[in-house]
Amino acid sequence: MNPKQLKQLKKRHKAAHQASADEYITELTEYANLFEDYPTIKFLINNVLESDLLLKNGLLPQPLPKLLLPDDIQDQIFEKLASKYPQGDPEGDQLWEKLSAALPKLDQRLRNYREYLETTYGMWAYINAPFIKNLSEFTNDGTVLEIMAGRGFISKGLRNLQPTQTIMTTDNLDWQTKVKTNLPAVTAVENLDALESIKKYGSTVDFVIISWAPDTQQTDWEILQLLRTSYPEIQLIVIGEYNGATNSKAFWQHADLINSTDTNKLNQNYHSFDLIDEKVYLVK
């Protein structure tokens, strides 16, 4: 394949991907209507629709349940239809086929909500309003530095709750090239590398926050070493998946994780909604 063909293929792939994102909520709304009589399904879909609506309006969403269909969902549908239609009824059989055929695609759509959040809102860590309240109480007016902040959802949430709290927010903005978006930051974000941010502000801050550090580089491990050697009093707060989708192997190998009532409280409203087991960690 020559470079021109490759470029055209990438353009077509990008357009198809964008169209899928644009249609995502419309499809879920249609599934909500299709499965109107099945509360367990409607509950999951409505949670996603409400989450999306809040984000569209510039607000942080609520925590999500696990966006996974129950293992026995087909049995539930069969029993529901059997109670309404006699065996062999054409209308019941047709509805059974329609609902059964829709389940795999609905399951995929629910599992893809994180991808939708990334491409539509530039949100990787699922930052919800109750969690931000817990985080605000934990930092307790201390000076906060959020690095690798992306669009700044965490900082914005903290600033909204405590306008007088000193919060510095930095990012080198390389995430924009990964999702190919021009989405603006949701709050003031200084264009600054993570390590340089700590060197610039480390002597004045009480907390450093990192959420969803990439697992393809060891910047997080370099940050932890810098904090230990030069700013040992700073509390590092990390949001990610232990030995999973986020952060480097070196970071998790060397991080000292703090198990405390504070850790438990920070995770009280921070629940994973898919197969990625993201949590909040206090690290030393």
Other beta carbons less than 10 A from residue 172's beta carbon? 17
On the question of pLDDT at 254 being above 90, the answer is yes
pLDDT computed for residue 55 by the predictor = 97
pLDDT computed for residue 183 by the predictor = 86
Q: Please compute the mean of the pLDDT values over residues 140-155 and round it to a whole number.
A: 96
Task: Using pLDDT thresholds of 50, 70 and 90, give the confidence band for residue 5.
Answer: very low
Pairing of strands 278-283, 235-241: antiparallel
Q: What are phi and psi of 244, to 5 degrees?
A: -140, -125
Spatial contact of 283 and 257, defined as CB atoms under 8 Å apart: yes
pLDDT computed for residue 61 by the predictor = 98
- Between 4 and 142, the more confident residue is 142
pLDDT digits (tens, 9 = 90+) for 161-196: 999 999 999 999 876 666 556 789 999 999 999 999
Is the alpha carbon torsion for 256, 257, 260, 261 positive or negative? positive
Identity of residue 123 = M
> In the CATH hierarchy, which fold is given to the domain comprising 129-283?
Rossmann fold (3.40.50)
- 269 to 148, 255, 278: CA distances (angstroms): 22, 23, 12
pTM over 0.85: yes
Torsion on CA atoms 152, 154, 159, 161, rounded to nearest 10: 150
The span from the CA of 88 to the CA of 269, in Å, is: 47
User: To which residue do tokens 């629910």 refer?
Assistant: 110
pLDDT computed for residue 174 by the predictor = 75
pLDDT digits (tens, 9 = 90+) for 79-107: 999 999 999 999 999 999 999 999 999 99
On the question of pLDDT at 224 being above 70, the answer is yes
pLDDT computed for residue 13 by the predictor = 39
Other beta carbons less than 10 A from residue 89's beta carbon? 14
The span from the CA of 47 to the CA of 74, in Å, is: 21
∠ CA 26-123-55, rounded to 5°: 50
Q: Please compute the mean of the pLDDT values over residues 41-56 and round it to a whole number.
A: 98
On the question of pLDDT at 11 being above 50, the answer is no
Query: Long-range CB contacts (< 8 A, 24+ apart) of 250-256?
Result: 250/218, 250/221, 251/213, 251/218, 251/220, 251/221, 251/224, 254/221, 254/224, 255/224, 255/281, 255/283, 256/283, 256/284
pLDDT digits (tens, 9 = 90+) for 27-45: 999 999 999 999 999 999 9
Domain boundaries, the chain: 3-121, 129-283
